[in-house]
Amino acid sequence: MTDEIVSADECFSGGTMPDVSITPARPDQLDAAAAVLAEGFRDDPVMQGFVPRGPRRHARLVELFAAMMRSIPSTRRAVDVAVVDGDVVGAAVWEAPRTRASSAMRLPVSWEELGQLPRYLRALGLGGLVPAARRQASLAAPRPRLPHWYLGEIAVGDAARGLGVGTSLIEHRLAAVDEAGDAAYLESSTERNRALYRRMGFVELGPIRGLPGATPAAMWRPARGAAGPA
């Protein structure tokens, strides 16, 4: 569930443009990244199916994003953050391609996911775990079988809207993806963001079904000079 970002085309009305640096997240920045993701996804139609509106929704979203980030094995997790004056104002969570060995050893539930179960329970509640797993399976179903980088989540905080932070976050990681000759994949909930992704070389594979209240699009960016997904 890749969105929610804001296009660089939006105007910034906060006065002097601040300096934005894009760096890999330090371990002590993961919680701040989760808070930015929760802020950016508060109105996302896909995320509302995971955490409906209600009491403590922001805190529950923070817990969910913190759990999702830490559920990715550290050897394959790549979290990039946008920082202004020491504060995290944007975050992008990527998953590196699986090796053949790791794909063969893939379990239905990883040790990392089991370790985050308390966070998932605080975010979703006991009754929300199974519906969330079903929604996640619907999201995962269209992912191509070819090795690829997966942009799981990206968001920009309210204070940094219109600075081009979302674009900078994606371009930062895509430079490394292209250098390695890899492909990339994401899901997008809104046409506005899909237009931005198309400008970055992503193409739509089609709508993702099975998510009541939302129909995100699967988007693929072939490795430079490579054919499309199988």
Q: What is the pLDDT of residue 19?
A: 86
Residue closest to 125 by CA, chosen among 69, 59, 72 = 59
pLDDT confidence of residue 227: 55
- Name the band, by pLDDT with cuts 50, 70 and 90, for residue 104: very low
* Cβ-contact 146, 181 below 8 angstroms: no
Give the model's confidence band at 113: pLDDT under 50 very low, under 70 low, under 90 confident, else very high: confident
Q: What is the mean pLDDT of residues 70-77?
A: 93
Report which of residues 81 and 17 the model is more confident about.
81
d(CA 54, CA 72): 28
- 9: Cα within 13 Å, side-chain hemisphere: 6
In this predicted model, what pLDDT tens digit does every residue of 181-227 receive, in sequence order?
999 999 998 888 999 999 999 999 999 999 988 899 999 999 986 65
Please tell me the distance from the alpha carbon of residue 167 to that of residue 12, in angstroms, as a whole number.
14
pLDDT digits (tens, 9 = 90+) for 44-64: 999 999 999 888 999 999 999
How many whole angstroms separate alpha carbon 96 and alpha carbon 73?
Answer: 10
- What pTM was estimated for this model as a whole? 0.88
Q: What residue ranges define each of the domains in the chain, with the CATH number in brackets?
A: 21-221 (3.40.630.30)
What is the reported pLDDT for 4? Answer: 59
